[in-house]
């Protein structure tokens, strides 16, 4: 399966499972801000309580590298 077909399949699955909309975007269109971790650290009472959130989630520079 080529990449485009795979992405379209994921898009359709998202819609089938109840997403109101699903779009394919280029990774280069994603902005990664350094301020996001600070917003979580000082603006969220869940900071440090889930593995999907800072400080456990990737740092901005790691995220940029992954997306590139």
pLDDT digits (tens, 9 = 90+) for 22-50: 999 999 999 999 998 899 999 899 999 99
If we measure between CA atoms, which residue out of 26, 24, 43, 36 comes closest to residue 61? 36
pTM of the model: 0.69
Domain identity same for 7 and 35? no
Instruction: Give the pLDDT band (50/70/90) at residue 1.
Output: low
**Average pLDDT rounded to a whole number, residues 4-19:** 96
Domain identity same for 15 and 37? no
CA atoms of 64 and 68, how far apart (whole Å)? 6
Percent of the chain with pLDDT over 70: 99
Structural domain that includes position 15: 1-29
Domain identity same for 37 and 66? yes
Cis ω for the linkage preceding 39 (within 30 of 0) = no
Residues 36, 60: contact at Cβ < 8 Å?
Answer: yes
Half-sphere exposure at residue 45, Cβ-oriented, CA atoms within 13 angstroms: 0
Domain identity same for 35 and 68? yes
Domain identity same for 40 and 65? yes
Domain identity same for 42 and 67? yes
Q: What are the tokens at 59?
A: 């740092």
């Amino acid at each position: 399966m080529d990449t485009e077909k795979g992405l379209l399949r994921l898009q359709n699955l998202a819609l089938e499972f109840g997403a109101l909309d699903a779009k394919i975007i280029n990774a280069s269109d994603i902005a990664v801000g350094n301020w996001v971790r600070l917003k979580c650290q000082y603006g969220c009472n869940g900071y440090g309580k889930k593995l999907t959130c800072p400080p456990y989630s990737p740092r901005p520079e790691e995220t940029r590298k992954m997306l590139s």
